[in-house]
């Protein structure tokens, strides 16, 4: 069991990249507003590298397996008492507050932390991560500015099929791009057929994307992390309107700018009756 300082905040997001990123990006504002010593971010070790992107925030990782204290089950927080930063645990509260409204889904994270919207800090890439990113592309033989990184996995919303991603990869390859798939460093993911696997820890994602030149992703946590990256980021939606919302009667906005993040991405929404080949052609040509 880990000894916690009485002035530590202990925050457990859902164990996903986007949720961890939001927690870290809001921690600086949280401590500035509520006081305390630091934020202990309770996530599995595979996500700890996200914390390195926020060196100015007083945050430190904490393995869930080492935490024995019970979690607070109601909304609210006290120092030294672990609590969840998981909006779905309090969905009834949000439905009551926002019924019939359209809100950024990141607004729920701010409201759980009692922060004004938006309060995200900008990530800072460690110099060592930039050096490692350049070495990674070089060792994998990936040409800078001419490599596309495909990100097919999303934990929310309707997914594009494996055959869709295979056709998209082939279309980029036909245009002369070297095509890769973003895969987990632990080897649990499989690359899209016809692409090279690109395992990349979270702290290297921004410089790898900037060196590669192009990222095409389903709306997911990688998009949040890359919101400030100087790269061509193309975000795909399965339908003209993003219909995922676990909050009954509440519409959620998911574009990066609407969520309070930096936003230079372009968005590709597949038409209701748009043929797949036409949608793919738009993505490859860069015509939102």
For the chain, give the percent of residues with pLDDT over 70: 97
Cα separation, 166 vs 185, in Å, equals 21
> What does CATH list as the number for 127-243+261-285?
3.40.50.2000
Q: What average pLDDT does this structure show over 264-277?
A: 95
At 185, the pLDDT band (50, 70, 90 cuts) reads confident
Q: What is the DSSP string of 263-277?
A: ---EEEE--TT--HH
* Confidence (pTM): 0.95
Alpha helices (H) in 67-217, listed in sequence order? 91-98, 107-112, 127-139, 162-174, 205-212
Give me the pLDDT at residue 244, please. 66
What does the domain layout of the chain look like in residue ranges? 8-86, 127-243+261-285
At 32, the pLDDT band (50, 70, 90 cuts) reads very high
Give me the pLDDT at residue 247, please. 84
Check pLDDT > 80 for residue 224: yes
Cα separation, 121 vs 1, in Å, equals 31
Measured N-to-C along each axis, helices 127-139 and 205-212 cross at an angle, to the nearest 10 degrees, of 50
Check pLDDT > 80 for residue 2: no
């Amino acid at each position: 069991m880990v000894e916690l300082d009485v002035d530590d905040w202990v925050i457990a997001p859902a164990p996903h990249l986007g949720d961890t990123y939001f927690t870290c990006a809001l921690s600086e504002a949280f401590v500035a507003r509520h006081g305390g010593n630091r934020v202990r971010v309770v996530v599995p070790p595979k996500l700890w590298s996200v914390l390195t992107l926020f060196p100015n925030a007083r945050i430190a990782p904490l393995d869930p397996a080492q935490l024995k204290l019970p979690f607070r089950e109601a909304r609210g927080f006290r120092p030294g008492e672990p609590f969840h930063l998981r909006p779905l645990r309090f969905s009834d509260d949000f439905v009551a507050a926002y019924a019939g409204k359209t809100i950024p889904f990141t607004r729920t994270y701010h409201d759980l932390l009692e922060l004004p919207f938006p309060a995200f800090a900008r990530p800072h890439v460690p110099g060592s991560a930039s050096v490692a990113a350049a070495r990674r592309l070089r060792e994998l033989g990936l040409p800078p500015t001419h490599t596309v990184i495909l990100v097919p996995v999303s934990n929310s919303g309707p997914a594009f099929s494996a055959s869709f991603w295979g056709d998209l990869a082939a279309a980029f390859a036909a245009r002369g791009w070297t095509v890769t798939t973003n895969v987990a460093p632990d080897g649990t993911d499989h690359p899209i057929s016809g692409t090279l696997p690109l395992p990349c820890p979270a702290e290297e994602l921004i410089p790898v994307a900037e060196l590669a030149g192009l990222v095409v992703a389903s709306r997911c946590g990688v998009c949040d992390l890359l919101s400030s990256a100087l790269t061509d980021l193309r975000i795909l939606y399965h339908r003209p309107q993003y219909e995922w919302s676990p909050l009954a009667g509440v519409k959620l906005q998911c574009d990066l700018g609407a969520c309070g993040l930096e936003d230079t991405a372009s968005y590709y929404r597949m038409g209701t009756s748009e043929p797949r080949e036409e949608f793919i052609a738009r993505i490859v040509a860069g015509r939102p």
